[in-house]
Amino acid sequence: MGRPSHEILVLHGPNLNLFGRREPHIYGTTTLPEINERLKRLADERGVELETLQSNHQGVLVDKLQKASTRSTARC
């Protein structure tokens, strides 16, 4: 199989690394790694390349988004 025809970049912002631990009665017990694994499985099933990034520093996320904007990456 060649290169995937679609690429998706998922950016997780500040504090999302605390999913599953921070106020689980509100946000649930699913962790960010579990969410990323589910996303990866879905992407693999559909032949889509997936990249995820979590940062508590907005500048890191902006830098990644700007770099990705020069590629054919779907931004959601």
pLDDT band at 14 (very low <50, low <70, confident <90, very high): very high
Residue-wise pLDDT for 27-70, tens only, equals: 999 999 999 999 999 999 999 999 999 999 999 999 999 999 88
CA–CA gap between residue 38 and residue 15 (Å, rounded): 19
pLDDT at 71 over 80: no
Domains in the chain and their CATH numbers? 7-75 (3.40.50.9100)
Whether 52 and 39 have beta carbons less than 8 Å apart is answered as yes
pLDDT at 5 over 90: no
The pLDDT assigned to 3 comes to 61
pTM score, two decimals? 0.81
